[in-house]
Structure 1
Amino acid sequence: MTDRAEDGPGGTTGPTVRIGVLGAARVVKTALTEPAREVPEVTVAALAARDPARAREHAARLGIPRVHDSYDALLADPELDAVYVALPNALHATWGERALRAGKHVLVEKPVTSNENEARQLARAAEETGRIVCEAMHPLYHPLNDRVRELLAAGTIGEIRHAEAHVAFPIPSAKDIRWSYELGGGALMDLGVYALALLRSYVGAGGEEEAALKDVEGALAPVRTKDVDRRVDARLRFAGGATGRIVATMWGWPPLASRCLVEGTAGRLTVLNPLGPQMFHRITVTAGGRRTRERVVKQPSTYACQLRAFARAVTGGEPLRSGPEQFVPAMAAIDAIYRRAGLPPRGAGAEAGRVAGETV
């Protein structure tokens, strides 16, 4: 790590974490380089992609100073402290583990891996190397998530009985890698992981950090391409007795929509746009014959909150909200939902992913 960073918005002086990027994906701008401007604890220092020419073009566009000719060359860079894995889902486990064993801390795009077995392997590599691995589950790090959990923990709607999360983001192009089973595609993998994370966070408020899933009671997952779900609708039961439902779609309307509902013995709480609260959001609580609405601070973005948390975990050992303790059971739940819906869990495409385009 480099010398101490200057004070920034919401930040404190401290060591700067130098991050290298694996992949020339579109998400790098939104999830890393733009929020890094708000997080002085982080420097985005290098990038590598499958196509070196594309890597140079992408790095120039994003203002990343160094480009490596291969993923392995980036992992060997002694001037990097951490790696952001922005590759297709099928490659997250392979390159996340290689980065850990190269001595780097790892921030890996969601979903953290293709399945539970890969998640356990990645968690084991982090333990063996003494490095941090964090899934990029950015909504969990925003003050909106804190406020919802605070309201639920305070008993505002009584004991939680049921929770739902609905997310939609249409992907019309059949060429998008999210429609490829070999690359770990599917609505559940792309959007359902967010819905599941939010439910586990909300149902677990006031107790565990994330509620444990007991059973998948039912799941429907109509496909668009072979074994790739365009929509998933899963009914869940948590260990504490509460039920849950997640609905995620990459097909149809409405676009860019997300909302959550939590029902308790004394009322209900709804959250509008928990995935992008920096754009707009609203919490509505109906209890005791009254309805109240509130908004939490919009800025910084969910991505900036996540990046700052990752930097502080690396430099100061602060706990993460999407580390192995959270992502291993989450991937177990994803596998279980696929099986209940009659589809195979992801994970057959590691080799195919090696030659995939980086367009997530």
Structure 2
Amino acid sequence: MSLRIGILGAARIAPAALIKPASAHPDVEVTAIAARSADRAQAFASRHLIPRAHGSYEELLADPDIDAVYNPLPNGLHGRWTRAALEAGKHVLCEKPFTANAAEAREIAALAAASDRVVMEAFHYRYHPLALWVEEIVASGELGTLERVETAVCFPLPKFSDIRYDYGLAGGALMDAGCYAVHMARTFGGGETPTVVSASARLRSPRVDRAMTAELRFPAGHTGRVTCSMWSSSLLKINAKVVGSKGSISVLNPLMPQAYHRVSVRVSGARRTEKFPRRPTYAYQLDAFAAAVLHGEPVKTSAADAVETMTVIDEIYRAAGLPPREPS
């Protein structure tokens, strides 16, 4: 039995996130692509050897030879088309952030819970052995009582016409880069959902952040900080640090460790480093999605988990004096 996936939109991320890992997966086929025009869909299909091209998203969702959809559309459209896919009886792998805001996430999560379909948010880093290892070390108590977790995802995006700066498409640094930082803080901070103590934004336009920093407090008492940007003095900064009463973990590039990574552990004065496989995070993510659909395995980035992340994102925006994003 194979999993047949259709792609909603000819997105730049699709080849790396789905098409390439699917080509190496024995149980997954990318069988169709839909775009806003038939010509665009056909050009993408030809370039990536996808058998069928649809000239609308509705056509793809009506295709009986598709079991699941990958949704890499702009942020503000994630909820709308994940909802439509569920109504069409398809499983969904939805790009991050899951929806425009927490209210929309709760709506989609309720639909997912009422269905027998798999709905998974594409936080690909979460399925890599590096992230699983950090989670296990924190849970083991080796670091002692948690005191602080800090995560940062900053990269340069000076093309200000990019849709990621468009409020109408639920854009902003916190949505695009910061959703990773928030999710990592939750994952590496013991799996809890923090409250937001304070937040500060640097703006590209009146409602759109180009950079954001937020201070967090977790239910167990430890604190946190998330930092993100698409344009700031921190041109490239992707790291995580977890501090406990007995030691700490520092991770360089937990987001895409296949490119490069450095992991350092200090406990009771002793230091060690760890190395992890160079297999892409996207390949591990596809493994998890296929196992969930074909074999009923649970996923770590469920719709319910997405509600928690989007709740923190909304709180950060409010604390920074900005409105949460709205569906497009």
**Short-chain TM bin:** over 0.9
Query: 2:193 is matched with which residue: 193, 212, 232?
Result: 212
SS at match of 1:270: strand
RMSD: 1.2
Answer whether contact 1:41 1:308 (CA < 8 A) is retained: no
Aligned position for 1:186:
172
Instruction: Tell me the amino acid that sits aligned with residue 232 of structure 1.
Output: M
Aligned position for 2:52:
66
Q: Is residue 249 from structure 1 mapped to residue 196 from structure 2 by the alignment?
A: no
Q: Is residue 344 from structure 1 mapped to residue 323 from structure 2 by the alignment?
A: yes
Query: 1:50 is matched with which residue: 36, 48, 51?
Result: 36
CA drift at 1:292? 1.1
Answer whether contact 1:170 1:249 (CA < 8 A) is retained: yes
Aligned position for 2:292:
313
Could you tell me how far apart the structure 1 residues matched to 2:36 and 2:236 are? 30
CA drift at 1:75? 0.3
Answer whether contact 1:126 1:132 (CA < 8 A) is retained: yes
Aligned position for 1:163:
149
Q: Is residue 145 from structure 1 mapped to residue 109 from structure 2 by the alignment?
A: no
Q: Is residue 332 from structure 1 mapped to residue 311 from structure 2 by the alignment?
A: yes
Instruction: Tell me the amino acid that sits aligned with residue 303 of structure 2.
Output: P
Instruction: Tell me the amino acid that sits aligned with residue 326 of structure 1.
Output: D
Query: 1:95 is matched with which residue: 81, 84, 103?
Result: 81
Could you tell me how far apart the structure 2 residues matched to 1:253 and 1:16 are? 46
Answer whether contact 2:210 2:232 (CA < 8 A) is retained: no
Aligned position for 2:219:
239
CA offsets 1:158-186 (integer angstroms, 9 cap, x no match): 11110000111211111100000010101
Instruction: Tell me the amino acid that sits aligned with residue 68 of structure 2.
Output: A
Instruction: Tell me the amino acid that sits aligned with residue 86 of structure 2.
Output: L
Aligned position for 1:25:
11
CA drift at 1:285? 0.8
Q: Is residue 121 from structure 1 mapped to residue 121 from structure 2 by the alignment?
A: no
Answer whether contact 2:217 2:223 (CA < 8 A) is retained: yes
Could you tell me how far apart the structure 1 residues matched to 2:25 and 2:276 are? 20
Instruction: Tell me the amino acid that sits aligned with residue 223 of structure 2.
Output: T
SS at match of 1:292: strand
1:279 to 1:122, Cα distance in 2 relative to 1, 3 A:
same
CA offsets 1:47-99 (integer angstroms, 9 cap, x no match): 00112211111121122111012111100000000001111111110110000
Could you tell me how far apart the structure 2 residues matched to 1:107 and 1:54 are? 22
Instruction: Tell me the amino acid that sits aligned with residue 214 of structure 2.
Output: A
Aligned position for 1:78:
64
Could you tell me how far apart the structure 2 residues matched to 1:255 and 1:294 are? 26
SS at match of 1:212: coil
* Percent identity of paired positions between Structure 1 and Structure 2: 48
Q: Which runs of 5+ in 1 are unaligned?
A: 1-14, 205-209, 351-360
CA drift at 1:253? 5.0
Answer whether contact 1:31 1:303 (CA < 8 A) is retained: yes
Q: Is residue 230 from structure 1 mapped to residue 210 from structure 2 by the alignment?
A: yes
Q: Is residue 196 from structure 1 mapped to residue 182 from structure 2 by the alignment?
A: yes
Instruction: Tell me the amino acid that sits aligned with residue 186 of structure 1.
Output: G
Aligned position for 2:276:
296
TM-score normalized by structure 2?
0.97
Answer whether contact 1:181 1:226 (CA < 8 A) is retained: no
TM-score normalized by structure 1?
0.89
SS at match of 1:222: strand
Answer whether contact 2:30 2:50 (CA < 8 A) is retained: yes
SS at match of 2:315: helix
Could you tell me how far apart the structure 1 residues matched to 2:38 and 2:158 are? 29
Could you tell me how far apart the structure 1 residues matched to 2:44 and 2:235 are? 27
Could you tell me how far apart the structure 2 residues matched to 1:259 and 1:298 are? 17
CA drift at 1:326? 0.8
Aligned position for 1:265:
245
